[in-house]
């Protein structure tokens, strides 16, 4: 299925949940990541987590824009990154960044 400019295949998904707050429209690399971003009780106060809430929960945004259940350490050089660079720390415009340390 093609959504916007991203091709959804395998277990990739996009939030199109229509609740009181509307679906967030974010892209997830797995059903587990999608499920993790939903919070609250079904039929009562179920909603999508905000970006800061997802980051607080340990989720990370990959360099390709897919939300992951957790930050992962890369073992090899990929797209100009050095070995051991963390996914979810992409400084490119449009990518979520972890909150600044206080």
Cα separation, 13 vs 2, whole angstroms:
11
Q: Which residues of the chain have pLDDT under 50?
A: 1-3, 75-85, 87-102
Q: What is the pLDDT of residue 16?
A: 81
Cα separation, 47 vs 58, whole angstroms:
18
Token pair listed for 57: 């929960």
The 3-state DSSP class for residue 6 equals strand
pTM to 2 decimal places = 0.61
Which residues have C-beta within 8 Å of that of residue 20, sequence separation ≥ 6?
Answer: 47
Q: What is the pLDDT of residue 78?
A: 47
Q: What is the pLDDT of residue 9?
A: 84
Whats the size of the chain, residue-wise? Answer: 102
Question: Backbone phi, then psi, for 31, in 5-degree steps?
Answer: -65, -35
Cα separation, 89 vs 102, whole angstroms:
18
Cα separation, 4 vs 69, whole angstroms:
23
């Amino acid at each position: 299925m093609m959504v916007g400019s991203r091709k959804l295949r395998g277990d990739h998904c996009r939030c199109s949940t229509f609740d009181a707050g509307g679906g967030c429209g974010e892209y997830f690399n797995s059903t587990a990541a999608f499920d993790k971003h939903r919070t609250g009780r079904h039929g009562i106060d179920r909603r999508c987590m905000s970006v800061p809430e997802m980051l607080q929960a340990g989720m990370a945004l990959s360099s390709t824009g897919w939300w992951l259940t957790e930050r992962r350490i890369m073992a090899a050089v990929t797209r100009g990154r050095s070995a051991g660079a963390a996914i979810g720390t992409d400084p490119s415009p449009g990518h979520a960044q972890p909150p600044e340390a206080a």
